Amino acid sequence: MSDEKLESINNSDESNDDDSMEISDNTEEEQVKTEPKQKKLFWLISTGSNSSDLILLNFFQYFAANIVTLGILGYLTAIRNLLKALFQETFGRFSDRRGRKVLLIIGFFLSFIATVLLAFSYKSQVMLIIVITIHAFAFSISFPVWNATIGDVTEIKGRTTFIGKLTAIGQGVGVALMLILTGLFYILKNSYGIELDWRVEYGIVFAVSAFCLLLSAIGVLFLEETRQPELIQQPPRLLTAFRNKPFRNFIIANSFYGIAMAVLWPIYPVIQVTVLGMEIYQLTLVSAIYAICFAFSGFFGGRIADRIGRKPVLIVTRFLLFTVSLLYIPAVIFNAWGYVILTNVVSGLCNGAFFIVMNAYALDCSSEDTKGSYSGLAQVSWGIATSVGALVAGFIAQAIVNNAQASGLTESEATRYMIIVTTIAIGILRILASIGYFFVKESLPAEKFE
C-alpha cells in the first residue's frame, strides 16, 4: 500500500476523537455487493446459524435448570456470556487483517461439536461447564467475523434491512423446527402414551441445533473471501477504537443496559421450570412465539432503522422492555403460564429490532478496515456487562430465597417472594438504564434518511 494511503488511514484514525462517524462515502445504491450465487450462501449460512442460536438461546437455560442450583445457574450464565464476548474483539481484529473465511469455518465447526456434546452434558456439572466453555469460545470466533462479513458486502443505507431479512429467515426456520419438535413430543405423549425422558427430549433438540450449525459450516466452505489480506492495514487497537466518541458513548449506554437486561436471565428459567412446572412442549411453544415476534420485529425494525435512523429504535425497544419482568408477577401469583406468552411477545418485539440495530451501529461507526474490530468490541462490552448482571442476580436471588426461608417461609413461598421482589427491581432498573440511549449519536447520516 502506498505511503499516501497509509497517511490517509492514519489521519482517519487520529480524527476518531471527534463527533464524526467513520462512514464510507460510497454512493453505490445496491444493497448487497456480491454475486447472486454468493448471496444464496449468505442466506444458507445465516439461516443455519440463526436457527441454531434461537434453539440454544431458548432451551439451554431450561436444560441447565434441571441440573444446577439457582446460584450456579447465574454463575453458568455469566461465564457463558463472558466467554462468548471476551475474544470477539481479538478475532474480529484478526479477521480484518487476515480475512474472514478460515475463522468462520473454525468457529462454526467448533460450535457444531460443542452442541453435539451438549446433549450428553447432563451427566455432570463439570462436563456442562466444559462444553459451554467450548461453545462460547466458538461463538466468540464466528459472531464478529460473520457480522463483519455482512458489513463487507453492504452499504450503510440498507444494512439493517439486509441484516433484518437474514435474521428473520433464520428465526422463521428455527420457529418451524421448534414447532415440529413440539408437535412430536405432544403427539407421542397424548396420542401414543409415550413420555420421553427430559434428557432424551433435550438431546433431540440439541441434535437439531447441531445439524443447523453443520449446514452453516458447509456453506462457509463455498463462500468466497470477502476481505483480502493483502489489502488490509493494521486496524485500531482497543483504546484507539474507543477514541471514536459516538462509538464510545454507545458502548457505555449499551453496557449499562446489558447489566439491567441480564439480571433477569437466571430468574426466568426458575419461574418457568421450577415454579410454573412448564413441560418442554409448553417451553417450545412460548419460545416459538418469542422467535416469531423477534423475526417480525427484526425484519421490519431493520427497515424502520434505515428510514428514521438507529437511535429512535434503540430508545423505544430498550424502554419498553421493562414490562417483561413485571409480566412475570401475575404468572407467579396466579400460577398461570399463559402470562409467559405475553412476556415472550413483548421481549421478542423489543429484542428483534434492537439486536439488528446494535450490530449495524457498530458497523456504521467503523471504517472499511475496522468492521471486525468494532463489531467485536461491541460484543465484548455487551458480554462483560451481561455476565456481571447475570452473576450478581443469581447469587442475590439465592440469598433472598435463603433469608426468606430462614424467616419461616417454605422453599416454594420463598422462591415466589424472591421472584416478585427481583422482577419489580429489574423493571425499575431497565427504565433507568434506557435513559442512556438518549445520549447516543445517530449513526445514519442525514442524507441517507428517506
Q: What gap in Å lies between CA 120 and CA 73, rounded to an integer?
A: 18
Q: Which three cell numbers stand for residue 336?
A: 398461570
The residue-averaged pLDDT of 315-334 equals: 96
- Please report, rounded to a whole number, the percentage of residues in the chain having pLDDT higher than 70: 87
Give pLDDT, residue 229: 64
User: What average pLDDT does the segment 114-119 reach?
Assistant: 93
**185 vs 437: CA distance, rounded Å:** 43
Alpha-carbon distance of 40 to 43, in angstroms, equals 5
Q: Is the pLDDT of residue 57 over 80?
A: no
Q: Is 104 contained in some domain?
A: yes
Instruction: Quote the Cα angle for 356-359-365, to 5°.
Output: 130
Could you give phi then psi for residue 32, rounded to 5 degrees?
-125, 120
pLDDT (0 to 100) of residue 196: 87
**Is position 2 within any domain?**
no
The pLDDT score that the predictor gives to residue 415 is 95
Q: Higher pLDDT residue, 313 or 168?
A: 313
Q: Is residue 412 part of a domain?
A: yes
Residue 269 within a domain? yes
- Domain presence at residue 231: no
Helices and strands (H, E) in the chain, number of each type: 17, 0
What's the pLDDT score for residue 317? 96
Q: Which of the residue ranges 116-125, 173-182, 284-293, 412-421 has the most confident prediction, judged by mean pLDDT?
A: 412-421
Q: Is the confidence at residue 249, as pLDDT, over 70?
A: yes
> Whole-prediction pTM value?
0.75
CA dist 20 and 371 (Å) reads 16
What is the total count of domains within the chain?
A: 1
Greatest alpha-carbon span in the chain: 76
The average pLDDT across 333-358 equals 94
Average pLDDT over residues 60-70: 80
Task: Name the residue with cell 434505515.
Answer: 306
**From 39-53, 194-208, 272-286, 369-383, the region with the lowest mean pLDDT:** 369-383
Residue 21 lies in a domain: no
The reported pLDDT for the residue numbered 80 is 82
For all residues of the chain together, what is the average pLDDT?
A: 84
Mean per-residue pLDDT, 112-123: 91
Residues in the chain, total: 450
Q: Which three cell numbers stand for residue 105?
A: 469455518
Domain of residue 43: give its range.
36-224+242-442
Per DSSP, the residues of 358-421 read HHHHHHHHS-TT-HHHHHHHHHHHHHHHHHHHHHHHHHHHHHHHHHHHHTT--HHHHHHHHHHH
What distance lies between CA 26 and its chain's CA centroid? 30
Higher pLDDT, 401 or 241: 401
Band of pLDDT at residue 157, cut at 50, 70 and 90: confident
Q: Of 109 and 169, which is predicted with more confidence?
A: 109
pLDDT at 421 over 90: yes
DSSP letter assigned to residue 440: S
Q: Which of 68-72, 93-97, 147-151, 247-251 has the lowest mean pLDDT?
A: 68-72
1 is a domain residue: no
Report which of 282, 285, 50 is spatially closest to residue 165, judged by C-alpha positions: 50
420 within a domain of the structure (yes/no):
yes
pLDDT at 447 exceeding the cut of 60:
no
Instruction: Round to whole Å and give the CA distance between 137 and 125.
Output: 18
**Torsion angles phi and psi, residue 154, rounded to 5:** -130, 155
Q: How confident is the model at residue 234 (pLDDT cuts 50, 70, 90)?
A: low
For position 324, which CATH number holds? 1.20.1250.20
Strand positions, DSSP E, 68-180: none
